Amino acid sequence: MKPFLRWAGGKNWLVKHIDSIVGLNDYNNYHELFLGGGSIFFHLNHTNQVFLSDLNEALINTYIQIRDNVEDVINHLNTYTNSEEFYYQLRPIQFDDPIEKAAQFIYLNQTSFNGIYRVNLNGIYNVPYGRRTKDFIQAELLRESSIKLQGVHLEAGPFYDFSNNIQEGDLVFLDPPYTITHNNNGFIKYNEHLFSEEDQRGLSRFIQQIIEVGAYYILTNAAHHDIQAIFHHNAPMTLTRASLIGGRMAQRGRYEEYLFTNIENDFIETNRN
């Protein structure tokens, strides 16, 4: 199933490859520590426990409310209108109620420019209105997402807070913010907290822990020689995707991204650098 959120830097483009990458790998629990739009989570069929997390507290609250209170979120969305006037009225409001926060998050995500998540120094969402005509209320998709999220563990925090959850035989999917600008990749400007070189090195040490515990990992990252040097545990695959960020001044094209994994199968070995 598809995600209910639009997400700059999301992994919809990877879905067509993910079954070949995971292959017949019989993993135990599933972990996704940079959740974003959750394309890979929603695509895979999970038979054991699922742990999803992200540093973005507003994002995690939205997933929690869709899991636990989907009809209330839909009811709030039904009171909104897709107009420039209403958008700018709703955008600055700081709700206390978590259900209202989730409805606001989904509305802004669906009606803003390119679905970008960006806040100012005061933590206020500041993306302009997108003039998008598509219906922002996808009630059935939200209900399907709620079913998929039942029993899922959701928590906000940095990736390194969740190392103790990972056990032998688990699968960990990692899609960090892309710090390095490559091939005109513009993701860096859409992150509230930049993922520094030291963060990348910390993630590399985290992957070493995953390997040592006997779990599997899949990491996506920028196709750049510095990234390949930092994540030296396994040779990367190079996968090609279309440009994900639009706009009148965007340069459309096809770009390469690295995928690192310790899963072994014929598809991976054939496509490794």
Q: Is residue 262 part of a domain?
A: yes
Q: Is residue 108 part of a domain?
A: yes
Residue type, 66: I
Q: Is residue 226 part of a domain?
A: yes
pLDDT of residue 165: 94
CB within 8 Å of 178: residues ≥ 6 apart? 9, 185, 187, 188, 195, 221, 222
Burial class of residue 245 in the structure, from the number of CB atoms within 10 Å of its CB (0-12 exposed, 13-18 middle, 19+ buried): middle
Instruction: Please check whether residues 50 and 170 belong to one and the same domain.
Output: yes
Instruction: Please check whether residues 17 and 70 belong to one and the same domain.
Output: no
Q: Is residue 98 part of a domain?
A: yes
Instruction: Please check whether residues 66 and 167 belong to one and the same domain.
Output: no
Task: Give percent helix, percent strand, percent coil of the chain, each to the nearest 5.
Answer: 40, 15, 45
Counted domains in the chain: 2
Q: Is the dihedral angle over the CA atoms 214, 236, 174, 31 positive or is it negative? A: negative
pLDDT of residue 224: 85
Instruction: Please check whether residues 127 and 220 belong to one and the same domain.
Output: no
pLDDT of residue 194: 65
pLDDT of residue 81: 96
Instruction: Please check whether residues 203 and 266 belong to one and the same domain.
Output: yes
Q: What is the CATH number of the domain that holds 189?
A: 3.40.50.150
Instruction: Please check whether residues 142 and 128 belong to one and the same domain.
Output: yes
Q: Is residue 74 part of a domain?
A: yes
Instruction: Please check whether residues 219 and 143 belong to one and the same domain.
Output: no
Successive 10-residue mean pLDDT values, the chain, 273 residues: 90 92 88 96 95 96 98 98 96 96 97 87 88 91 98 96 95 86 44 70 96 97 89 92 49 74 92 83
pLDDT of residue 195: 79
Q: Is residue 213 part of a domain?
A: yes
Last residue of a domain, which of 99, 119, 150?
150
pLDDT of residue 271: 84
pLDDT of residue 193: 53
Give yes or no for a contact between 118 and 192, defined as CB atoms under 8 angstroms apart: yes
Element (H or E) spanning 247, and its range? none
Last residue of a domain, which of 130, 150, 170?
150
**266 alpha-carbon distance from chain centroid:** 27
Instruction: Please check whether residues 133 and 169 belong to one and the same domain.
Output: no
Q: What is the CATH number of the domain that holds 107?
A: 1.10.1020.10
pLDDT of residue 76: 97
Q: Is residue 4 part of a domain?
A: no
Element (H or E) spanning 222, and its range? strand 216-222
Give yes or no for a contact between 46 and 186, defined as CB atoms under 8 angstroms apart: no
pLDDT of residue 95: 95
Round to whole Å and give the CA distance between 193 and 55.
Answer: 9
Round to whole Å and give the CA distance between 41 and 44.
Answer: 6
Instruction: Please check whether residues 239 and 163 belong to one and the same domain.
Output: yes
Round to whole Å and give the CA distance between 5 and 202.
Answer: 28
Domain that holds residue 267: 12-55+157-271
Give yes or no for a contact between 223 and 180, defined as CB atoms under 8 angstroms apart: no
